Structure 1
């Protein structure tokens, strides 16, 4: 039997009569900015709803999610480490969730639990909002785990010229290249893989990348997935470096700045993927009523 979660991080829909209740589920979850973001969306769109937190014990996601929806919950965002559990919990998956192999948004549609993944769409919109053109560009993705897989499809759909997935283990990078091979061919993208160690070799990095995305967890531990030698080859004054981690200047971002590149953390991606989830739950007709960039400015201030 699962131990009871802390009351501070447990949202019971029955405690909010008259309101549609949503929550973000994860472990840990105290740090999540999602409740703030969604309450700001609700204020912009004049929606009566409550958005809280669910700290779920490891290995108990399905039971907790079932209880949340049975009690009247309308939708759930899912973060680390439960995105695969959410995929298995859903009755139906969107095409992008199937491709990502993970779910970060659960909703109820015609009595069934529907799983979607808004991470990739959120990243693409944040990049566009920052003036980053993707079509015809050279993209380097650092990492081949769940974060990379979740955004690879939407990035390929933007028709970059080429995309390289670099990972510590070449096997995982090659697996992603094979998995997304047909999609890359559809959008005429050259999709390749290499190891992080190969990035130290000038033959692998014979010309600068337009966009370098850090999809590894290295920044969470105050390190970088690449060494100084690779950084000196990868970054240039014309490139843009994006770290999916947010809330602090990371070593990866510092390396990019030293190479003359522009940089961004992942807070904009967080807000934009939340906007996608909000519209799934409350209706696409509200797309003109919400302003994700205004919320991003408020969060940064």
Structure 2
């Protein structure tokens, strides 16, 4: 019987994960089956327990279950514990479920390897203070940036994240604020981790945040440019990107955790982009 993997979400029909992991498996000659599972919004735990009880060995977790997966896991990686969210589950030999978070690693890999953007000594603005934001902070702090500001509609939530991640003692300037606090500031990299793109909206951002060398990155991925991406282009950003590359890179990290084989991401990413254009 093939090793069983899955992605849990609600909704889930749109997920690219089954396609991505099937391509990874073919590329690395791994024998596995990967499916998408629509879990009830109010009972992720039951769906996950059934999956692992029937022989499942690993799973990805997407919206809205990353906090549920955190609670479900028996053991957590340090990065998952600090992120307060789990997107990757693995069943150990003793039956314990191990929870990890590969989102931030996926983002940094996409920025540096696929987009050719050096994070060294960069001034970074992270928009949002929810689960998506929490998952990417630690890898950004470990990537050599000089400053990170977390901005949110309610600044108290952003300040809470500053307090959580200050314990890493990276020596990096870590600050927080609301949208109004961004007036007269400029950044090398702006990452949209808010849910605004889901509703076709945009945070009320002031003009002048971006320079002609800046990169604007939306964690959402979409066939059409998101409102944040359109805003960034109008503001003169040098580069604008969505989260498709991050999706592929975080999947590759999860695949490595499960199989101890690291797939090549470029062929898969290019194939997905070609499908979007078709």
Q: TM-score, normalised by structure 1?
A: 0.88
2:259 aligned residue (282, 289, 294): 282
For 2:164 and 2:221, the matched residues in 1 are separated by 28
Residue 101 (structure 2) pairs with residue 117 (structure 1): yes
Partner residue in 1 for 2:160: 175
The two structures, once aligned, show a CA RMSD in angstroms of 1.0
For 2:271 and 2:156, the matched residues in 1 are separated by 41
Partner residue in 2 for 1:295: 268
Deviation at 1:160, TM superposition (A): 1.1
For 2:195 and 2:31, the matched residues in 1 are separated by 36
Partner residue in 1 for 2:195: 217
Partner residue in 2 for 1:40: 23
Q: Residues 181-196 of structure 1: matches in 2 within 5 Å?
A: 181-183=166-168, 186-196=169-179
Partner residue in 2 for 1:266: 243
Q: Residues 97-136 of structure 1: matches in 2 within 5 Å?
A: 97-111=80-94, 112-129=96-113, 130-136=115-121
Q: 5+ unaligned residues in a row in structure 1: which ranges?
A: 1-17
The answer on whether the counterparts of 1:144 and 1:215 sit within 8 Å (CA) in structure 2 is yes
Partner residue in 2 for 1:12: none
Residue 27 (structure 2) pairs with residue 51 (structure 1): no
Larger radius of gyration: 1
Partner residue in 2 for 1:146: 131
For 1:161 and 1:180, the matched residues in 2 are separated by 15
2:143 aligned residue (147, 152, 158): 158
Deviation at 1:197, TM superposition (A): 2.5
For 2:93 and 2:20, the matched residues in 1 are separated by 27
For 1:182 and 1:64, the matched residues in 2 are separated by 35
Partner residue in 2 for 1:79: 62
The answer on whether the counterparts of 1:139 and 1:160 sit within 8 Å (CA) in structure 2 is yes
Partner residue in 2 for 1:9: none
For 1:275 and 1:21, the matched residues in 2 are separated by 17
For 2:75 and 2:51, the matched residues in 1 are separated by 18
Q: TM-score, normalised by structure 2?
A: 0.95
Which deviates more, 257-266 or 165-174?
Answer: 257-266
